[in-house]
Structure formats: C-alpha cells, structure tokens
Structure 1
C-alpha cells in the first residue's frame, strides 16, 4: 500500500491560531486528488488517533480546484505554553507521512 508521502508530494503544517493546527495535503494532479481525498487514512477518526484528539473536533476541507485537502485539529496545549514543543506547528505534518493509503 502506498503511504501518504508517496501520493502527496507536498505536505505542510502550520499554526491556525493559538488553539489549532492545520495540515495541508497538496496532491500533484486532479486524478490523485480524486483517488485519495476520501481515503480513510486522512479522515477525522484516523487523524484524531494519530494526534490524540477528539475525532469530533477534527475538520477536513476539500479544495478540488487546488488538488488539496486541509485538515485542522485542536492543539494539545495553547501556542506558546510551558509544554510547547513546536510553536509554529511546522513539524506536525511528519506524523501523517507514513500512514498507509488504500
């Protein structure tokens, strides 16, 4: 089975306010987007399991014109807090790169 890194050549994460993280998945073609945008591996329950958050709070937005999927989830601790390890959330996408797509 291919991994997310194999089907989505550009993936980034960023802060989406002090309480949220956003991950952008850019597919390289409309065909790839059409094939994988509904894959169970990137749906809210799966993402919630990877990041340890409530699945009801994970939001997924599809942007067909850009061949992209945007995933947002609540941060485990507010940005800049005492336990902060990635202030700008720039490294959070790494945890999704090895998920297996179907």
Structure 2
C-alpha cells in the first residue's frame, strides 16, 4: 500500500483561524490524485483517531485542478491556550505521513 508521503509531494498543516486546523495534501500528479484523493482512509475517522476531532465536524475539499485535497478539523482547544504546543499548527501533518492509503 502507498503511504501519504509516497504519493504526495508536499503535506502541510496550518491554522484555519483560532479554532480550526487545515491539512493540505499536494499529490505528486493527476494519476496519484485520481487514485487516492477519494480514499476513505483520509476520512473523518482518521482525524478523530489522530487528533481527537469530532468526525461530524471534519470537512474535506478537493481541488482537482491543483491535485490537492484539504481537510479541516476543529482544534481540541483554541489557539494560544495555556496548554498550546503548536500555536501555528505547523507540525500537525507529521502524524499523517505514514498513513497507508487505499485506492478509491
């Protein structure tokens, strides 16, 4: 099975406001995008398991012309709180790199 880091040329995470995080999956080409963009593995259950997000609130957007999938989920605590460990959400993507994808 292909892992995220094998089929994406870049994966990044960032703030989407003080209450949300967005992960961008930049697939390495249209073939990888067509094969893996709709993979059920990149669904709400993954973000619930890895980040404690409510699966009902996870949002997924595809941009086929860019070979990109964006997934947004609510933060467990607002940005800048007392227990904040990644204020800009720049390190959140790391947990996703070794996720194995099924072809859609």
The question of a shared fold, defined as TM-score above 0.5 by the shorter chain, is answered with yes
The equivalences for 1:63-78 within 5 A come to: 63-78=63-78
**Is the 8 Å Cα contact of residues 12 and 24 (structure 1) preserved in structure 2?**
yes
Structure 2 gap segments, 5+ residues each: none
Quote the Cα distance in structure 1 between the aligned partners of 2:40 and 2:98.
14
Aligned equivalent of 2:27: 27
Quote the Cα distance in structure 2 between the aligned partners of 1:50 and 1:94.
11
Q: How many residues align?
A: 102
Aligned equivalent of 2:13: 13
Structure 1 gap segments, 5+ residues each: none
Large movers: runs of 4+ above 3 Å: none
TM-score (norm 2): 0.94
Q: CA deviation at 1:5?
A: 0.7
